[in-house]
Amino acid sequence: MLRFAPSPTGDMHIGNLRVAILNYIIAKQMGVEFLVRIEDTDKARNIEGKDEEIMQLLEKFALIKDLTYHQSEHLHIHQTFAIRLLEEKKAFVCICSDEELSSDRDDAKSKSIAYRYSGKCENLTHEDYQKLKEEKIPFVIRLKKPIEPIINHDVIKGDISTAPNEIDSFVILRTDGTPTYNFACASDDMISDISMIIRGEDHLSNTPKQIHIKNLLGYTQVVKYAHLPIILNDNGKKMSKRDEASSVKWLLIEGFIPDAIINYLILLGNSKTPKEIFTLPDAIEWFKLEDISKSSARFDIDKLRFINREHLKMMDERKLSTIFGFADANIGKLAKLYLEESSTIKELEEKLKSIFKAKDFSSNEWIEQINTLREIIGSLDMIEDYNSFKNTISKMSGLKGKNLFKPLRLLLTGAEHGPELSEVYPFIKPYLLEIIS
Ligand code: GLU
């Protein structure tokens, strides 16, 4: 099984969406299930409703899950695992006070060396744990550090070996009995039998700890890891919440469509795709994690705009119409005429609004001609073909050339420039009276 394990702590970041897409693709390629695990154990950082929002977004992107659960549902399992490790002497209770620990940290800092746990409580036993519990003395549970280095054969980053000292004897269960992030994550990956873990490289330093946890819990399956390079903004810095384009919700509001966002995120840092414009089912045919570059990729909104435009061109006209609230395929066809000058749903919507909104020409230099044309068009029966329409109103108004086309374009589209009126006309003719009113 593969999994996407988001924390419900904020708006979904494009980096998270990329992780979800790639896990989904590989799960499909391997023919295994795709789990969505909401990592909600950090109560202080959880934001109410974000879990639902994540689920809805995944649905919008057609990343269909086979299974889902909230990590907090497994609290009792995490606690049972921690106690088992204690009984097996693979973990120990620690009663070092916050003061002691922070003084050790300060000490390490002043010596410019990395802080490591002193090992003071290492010999406390399961019996000590029983006593501490009876006497209600607060304690944490720490995992004993490994004896051998831990090796991660990362699909993208290559082999990474981490020394026991670097892993250290770290806390797995806090004083309030809740698991730490690494412990909850590794335990759940083991329970769900996750065979491959694809995630952002910000988790690279967690990996040896999580491998160590699974080793001590007796898990023997070989798990593959792939850590994706981070996404950089225009300034070459990690894309953060402050970059609005990092929010999937923002991109959707701006009128980027899911198919295009998926296409762009699969292309990111991947120069070996057989084509530039493709769909998710296409990518499942040929995508290879090994083709992702080791180095970070820069987010390029212009490239996304280009890809969005290409997907809008390919979109079924009726489907495009429904996005704008019309059932009639003509509106989708009309919108597509504007793809020369627009790249997003939002921009196309502006163009359509300009056509359909009530237009105020009171201070326009062409007001007189516009009024004449409005009256003539209002009195006509619908004329099928643009040339006959144009000839009829030219004859009736006595207007020609620029004096006809400038005010006519303004009246019909609300804009001075745009696609040829002969191309626009077939799609707007059923709505002429509404448009000129
Ligand atoms: N919950 C973590 C996050 O949102 C992901 C953990 C993981 O994929 O292992 O960054």
Evaluate: CB of 203 within 6 angstroms of ligand 1.
Answer: yes
Which residues are registered as beta bridge partners of 38?
70
Could you give the residue ranges of the DSSP H alpha helices within 112-195? 126-134, 164-167, 181-191
Q: What are phi and psi of 150, to 5 degrees?
A: -100, 130
Give the C-alpha separation, 9 to 250, whole Å.
16
| Integer CA distances (angstroms), 307 to 164, 227, 298, 338, 344, in order | 46, 25, 16, 16, 10
Pocket test for ligand 1, best of 185, 202, 209, 213 (most atoms within 8 A of CB): 185
User: What is the model's pLDDT at position 126?
Assistant: 87
* Alpha-carbon gap, residue 7 to 316, rounded angstroms: 35
What pLDDT shows up at residue 427? 97
Residue 189: the pLDDT is 98
Quote the CA–CA distance of 5 and 20 in Å, as a whole number: 8
The response to whether residue 185 sits with its C-beta less than 6 Å from ligand 1 reads yes
* Environment class of 53 (CB within 10 Å of its CB; exposed 0-12, middle 13-18, buried 19+): middle
Largest CA distance in the chain: 103
| 164 confidence band (pLDDT: 50, 70, 90) | very high
How remote is the CA of residue 6 from the centroid of ligand 1, in Å? 5
pLDDT at 10: 93
pLDDT digits (tens, 9 = 90+) for 309-320: 999 999 999 999
Mutation test residue for ligand 1: of 203, 209, 224, the one with most atoms within 8 Å of CB: 203
Residues 6+ apart with CB under 8 A from 129: 83, 86, 93, 139, 141
Task: Return the pLDDT at 285.
Answer: 98
Task: Give percent of the chain with pLDDT exceeding 70.
Answer: 100
**Residue ranges in 192-272 assigned as alpha helix (H):** 207-216, 248-253, 258-267
The response to whether residue 152 sits with its C-beta less than 6 Å from ligand 1 reads no
For ligand 1, whether the C-beta of 22 sits within 6 Å is no
CB 298 within 8 Å of CB 229: no
In a mutational test of the pocket of ligand 1, which residue from 199, 225, 238, 248 has the highest number of ligand atoms less than 8 Å from its CB? Answer: 199
The band of 78, judged by pLDDT with boundaries at 50, 70 and 90, is very high
- For the Cβ of 154 lying below 6 angstroms from any atom of ligand 1, the answer is no
Provide the pLDDT for residue 271. 85
Q: What is the pLDDT of residues 331-352, one digit of tens each?
A: 999 999 999 999 999 999 999 9
The mean pLDDT value for 194-219 works out to 97
How many Å apart are CA 282 and CA 291, to the nearest integer? Answer: 16
- Answer yes or no: is the C-beta of 194 below 6 A from any ligand 1 atom: no
Cα–Cα distance for residue pair 4/129, rounded to 1 Å = 35
Ligand 1 lined by 7 (C-beta under 6 Å): yes
pLDDT at 82: 98
Query: 75 CA distance to ligand 1 centroid (A)?
Result: 17
Tens of pLDDT along 269-304? Answer: 998 999 999 999 999 999 999 999 999 999 999 999
For residues 303 and 264, the answer to whether their CB atoms sit within 8 Å is yes
Can you give the pLDDT at residue 275?
96
Q: Residue 417 carries which side chain, given as an amino acid letter? A: H
Here the tokens at position 423 are 């191309």
Q: State pLDDT tens for residues 220-229.
A: 999 999 999 9
Which amino acid is residue 157, in one-letter code?
A: K
Asked if residue 258 lies in contact with residue 265, where contact means CB atoms within 8 angstroms, the answer is no
The mean of the pLDDT values for the chain is 96
Picking from 351, 331, 349, 348, the residue whose alpha carbon sits closest to that of residue 417 is 351
Question: Which stretches within 315-366 are classed as H helix?
Answer: 317-323, 329-337, 345-356
Phi, psi (5° rounding) for residue 332?
-65, -40
Q: Mean per-residue pLDDT for 155-173?
A: 97
CB 231 within 8 A of CB 202: no
Give the burial class of 99: count Cβ atoms within 10 A of its Cβ; 0-12 exposed, 13-18 middle, 19 or more buried. exposed
* Calpha distance 306→308 (Å, rounded): 5
Ligand 1 atom closest to the Cα of residue 9 is: 4
List CB contacts of 360: < 8 A, sequence separation 6 or more.
Answer: none
Q: Are 179 and 210 in contact (CB under 8 A)?
A: no
In this prediction the pTM is 0.94
Helix/strand/coil for 101: helix
Residue 403's pLDDT band (cuts 50, 70, 90): very high
Does ligand 1 lie within 6 Å of residue 15's CB atom? no
Give 12's contacts (C-beta < 8 A, 6+ positions apart).
6, 53, 54, 57, 247, 248, 249
Nearest protein Cα to ligand 1, atom 2: 6
| Rounded distance from Cα 436 to ligand 1 centre (Å) | 54
pLDDT digits (tens, 9 = 90+) for 171-188: 999 999 999 999 999 999
Which residues are CB-neighbours of 198 under 8 A, at least 6 positions away? 2, 19, 22, 23, 26, 225, 226, 228, 289
| pLDDT band at residue 382 using 50, 70 and 90 as cut-offs | confident
CA–CA distance, 183 with 315 (Å, rounded to integer) = 45
